[in-house]
A = this chain, B = another copy of it.
Amino acid sequence: MKIQESGENYLETILLLKKKKGAVRSVDVAVEMNFSKPSVSRAMNILKTAGHIEIDQNGFIKLTEQGDALARSVYERHELLTFFLRKLGVSEETAAKDACRIEHVISAETFEKIKEAM
């Protein structure tokens, strides 16, 4: 099963929370993304089944090597796009919001070209 855009967002959020708070549980993801607990619960199961995360007995979420790579890749795209949009004069808030949407749909080629342009 190929990862979906929503899956990428969940992984990205997990990475973000890990940086920000150290440990991450489902409820943290739910609060951060403003989603219901059941939505996150199901999403975590899908990510677990796909081998992107592991959940220990205490409910703490760990990215697997694979999941971590994916999360970092999305996060990198996000950071670059935000920076790029800011350079174009887009406001911080809008840049973040748009980056979050664009990050899932741009090709590797476009990503590289933007990188070069910066």
Partner of A107, one of B94, B113, B116, B117: B94
Which one, B98, B107, B114, contacts A106 given CB within 8 A?
B98
In residues 62-118 of chain A, which contact B (Cβ within 8 Å)?
A: 85, 88-91, 94-95, 97-98, 101-102, 105-107, 109-110, 113-114, 116-117
Q: How far is the CA of A90 from the CA of B117 in the complex (A)?
A: 11
Q: Which residues of chain B come closer than 8 Å to A117, judged between CB atoms?
A: 88-89
Interface of A is mostly: helix
Chain B residues contacting A116 (CB-CB under 8 Å) are: 88-89
Extra A-B contacts (14), CB below 8 Å, given A90-B110, A94-B110? A85-B110, A85-B113, A88-B110, A88-B113, A88-B114, A88-B117, A89-B117, A90-B109, A91-B109, A94-B107, A98-B110, A102-B102, A102-B106, A105-B105
- List the interface of chain A (C-beta within 8 A of B): 85, 88-91, 94-95, 97-98, 101-102, 105-107, 109-110, 113-114, 116-117
* Contact sample, A vs B, 25 pairs, CB 8 Å cutoff: A85-B110, A85-B113, A88-B110, A88-B113, A88-B114, A88-B116, A88-B117, A89-B113, A89-B116, A89-B117, A90-B109, A90-B110, A90-B113, A91-B109, A94-B109, A94-B110, A95-B110, A97-B107, A98-B105, A98-B106, A98-B110, A101-B105, A102-B102, A102-B105, A105-B105
